């Protein structure tokens, strides 16, 4: 979901036509694309701006729910009823038949992405949003391995480098709102993974800042704290100041992890 903070859209608003939009067959217009003009990466490199034609590489890895897949998978989403790789429908049947599974769509499952070991299924939920289901194969056949109901359309995101946690940011509501002359952004950071409520501190990686003619993308990540198991009581917000390599101008502030493509737009 895009966050509206201080009158600025944080998220994918305004770039739905960039990249692999289902309603765009050719290059998008000047109002939706621009070439990077300034990049400040620091220790993080996760943002991949679209090219001058508004396109992303087909092999770009993106994430949605718990799944990671190449962007090219959007071109080959198929009905599970017609494209079952063999045993997947049978594997999910017991879950759909039990008490919990009754809350999930009973039909309409589509095969988003498959490998020899894992299948990611997705379906529209009658309650709104999307339902996701995962089936794995350890060599002895397909087995249901997890499901989730998401009350949103699933905006695709860049994949944080392996071994790092995802960090979301928002403008600090107690700081002055950015203006055209702003070169520093006061933000609040929140780590999404369960870390037992430990503050980010020096585990922070980034930010990566990419400035185009029309937008400023900002992304963060964090090194996980030492240990193997953590509680999920909620993580504290961390204040941070982002230095911009140029004045903000009239650029739109964007959550740097979102690429501006919505999975729901590609489903039947």
Q: Which helix (H) or strand (E) holds 260?
A: strand 258-262
Region of residue 174 (left: phi > 0; alpha: psi -120 to 50; beta: else): alpha
Q: Please state which of the ranges 21-35, 52-66, 218-232 shows the lowest mean pLDDT.
A: 21-35
Average pLDDT over residues 206-223: 91
Per-residue tokens: 196: 């037992």
Q: Between the CA of residue 126 and those of 17, 103, 150, 230, what are the distances in Å?
A: 27, 9, 11, 34
Average pLDDT over residues 15-32: 31
Cis ω before 207 (30° cut-off from 0): yes
Range list of H helices, 63-118? 80-83, 88-97
Per-residue tokens: 190: 């929140």
pLDDT band for 224, please (50, 70, 90 cuts).
very high
Nearest by Cα to 121 from 137, 98, 100, 144: 144
Tell whether the model's pLDDT for residue 1 goes beyond 50.
no
Supply the pLDDT for residue 70: 94
Whats the size of the chain, residue-wise? 268
Average pLDDT over residues 189-210: 91
pLDDT band for 213, please (50, 70, 90 cuts).
confident
Which is more confident, 34 or 76? 76
Supply the pLDDT for residue 42: 62
pTM above 0.85, yes or no: no
Nearest by Cα to 11 from 219, 268, 256: 256
The pLDDT > 70 percentage for the chain reads 84
Tell whether the model's pLDDT for residue 150 goes beyond 90.
no
Determine how many CB atoms are found less than 10 A away from the CB of residue 126: 12
Average pLDDT, the chain: 82
Supply the pLDDT for residue 7: 28
Tell whether the model's pLDDT for residue 220 goes beyond 50.
yes
| Best-predicted range by mean pLDDT (15-24, 69-78, 233-242) | 69-78
Q: What are the backbone dihedrals phi and psi of residue 197, each rounded to the nearest 5 degrees, phi first?
A: 75, 15
Beta bridge partner(s), residue 221: 166, 205
> What is the distance, to the nearest Å, from the Cα of residue 51 to the centroid of all Cα atoms in its chain?
19
Q: Note the pLDDT tens digit of each residue in 106-149.
A: 999 999 999 999 999 999 988 888 999 999 999 889 999 999 88
Q: Are 78 and 67 in contact (CB under 8 A)?
A: no
Supply the pLDDT for residue 41: 62
Q: Which helix (H) or strand (E) holds 110?
A: strand 110-114
Domain boundaries, the chain: 3-56+160-261, 67-153
Q: Please state which of the ranges 101-110, 183-192, 229-238, 240-249 shows the lowest mean pLDDT.
A: 229-238
Supply the pLDDT for residue 64: 87
Q: Note the pLDDT tens digit of each residue in 41-64.
A: 668 889 887 777 878 899 999 998
Range list of H helices, the chain? 80-83, 88-97
Burial class (CB in 10 A: 0-12, 13-18, 19+), 40: middle
**CB-based contacts of 19, cutoff 8 Å, min separation 6:** 50, 54, 55, 56, 71, 259, 260, 261
Supply the pLDDT for residue 100: 87
Whole-number Å distance between alpha carbons of 60 and 56: 7
């Amino acid at each position: 979901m895009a966050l509206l903070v201080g009158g600025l859209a944080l998220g994918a608003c305004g770039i739905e036509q960039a990249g692999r939009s289902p309603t765009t067959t050719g290059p998008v217009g000047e109002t939706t694309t621009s070439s990077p003009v300034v990049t400040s990466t620091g220790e993080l490199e996760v943002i991949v701006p679209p090219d001058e034609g508004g396109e992303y590489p087909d092999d770009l890895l993106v994430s949605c729910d718990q799944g990671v897949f190449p962007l090219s998978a959007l071109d080959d989403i198929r009905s599970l009823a017609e494209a079952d790789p063999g045993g997947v429908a049978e594997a999910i049947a017991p879950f759909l038949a039990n008490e919990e599974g009754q809350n999930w769509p009973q039909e309409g499952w589509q095969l988003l992405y498959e490998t020899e070991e894992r299948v990611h299924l997705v379906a529209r939920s009658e309650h709104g949003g999307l339902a996701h289901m995962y089936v794995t194969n350890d060599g002895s056949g397909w087995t249901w391995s997890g499901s989730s109901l998401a009350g949103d359309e699933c905006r695709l995101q860049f994949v944080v480098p392996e071994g790092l946690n995802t960090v979301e940011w928002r403008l600090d509501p107690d700081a002055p709102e950015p203006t055209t002359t702003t070169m520093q952004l006061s933000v609040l950071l929140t780590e999404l993974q369960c870390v037992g409520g430990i503050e980010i501190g020096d585990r922070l990686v980034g930010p990566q800042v990419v400035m185009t003619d029309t937008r400023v993308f900002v992304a963060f990540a964090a090194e996980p704290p030492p240990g193997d198991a953590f509680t999920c009581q909620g993580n504290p917000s961390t204040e941070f100041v982002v230095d911009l390599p140029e004045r903000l101008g009239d650029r739109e502030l964007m959550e740097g992890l979102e690429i501006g493509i919505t999975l729901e737009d590609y489903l039947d």
